[in-house]
Amino acid sequence: MRFFQADSLDEAYKNMCEFLVLEGISTSRRNEQMKEQPNVFLTLTNPRHRVIQNPARNLSPSFLIGEFLWILSGSDDVSFISHYNTKMRRYSDDSLKMYGAYGKRLASQWNPLIEKLKVDPMTRQAVITILRPEDISTNTKDFPCNIALNFWCDSNRRLNLTTFVRSQDMFLGFPYDVFHWTLFQENVALSAGLKLGSYHH
């Protein structure tokens, strides 16, 4: 078990990648050699510092924003997201839809979540789920990596978010996922009249 804490994702990302290279367990998944480490926990004390600046990980600004808007729209349409990243088509089972699209799975949960937090900011029921029971028996190229979002408020009315992830590619998915969920966290806090707290992944 390993814990990382930083003010910015840029700082945390460098430390986490170094740890994975030096201490990661060599393994093979889907016929590819890689290093992995189970049970790694990240806390960002300032979720607004959500963009990696390190030139070694040259993020696509258009894909960062495009994927966020795609999730926000509630869409599972491949043509929408592939406009920003053509490689996304390879994860579609039918070249039309993304089976595990986060936006489609979360669209009906956002408003009830915000209302619950407005009524009782200290509730421990502000959890929205991405993983569905039927996923375990579904053969798909797009099995969700992020599986649940747990929003929780502290005594100072700061809204914190814990994202639960079953598997995470540190180079490809991780920088984008943290960007999206911290931005959603900030939007939920604003909508519910709360301060922004810390982010946990």
Question: What is the number of other CB atoms lying within 10 angstroms of the CB of residue 15?
Answer: 13
Percentage above 90 pLDDT, the chain: 94
| pLDDT for 124 | 97
Q: How confident is the model at residue 55 (pLDDT cuts 50, 70, 90)?
A: confident
> Of all helices (H) and strands (E), which one includes residue 191?
helix 174-192
Helix axes 110-119, 174-192, angle to 10 degrees: 50
Per-residue CA distances from 186 to 9, 12, 183, 190, 191 (Å): 15, 19, 5, 6, 9
This prediction's pTM: 0.95
Residue 14 has pLDDT above 90, yes or no: yes
CA separation for the pair 43, 5 (Å, rounded): 5
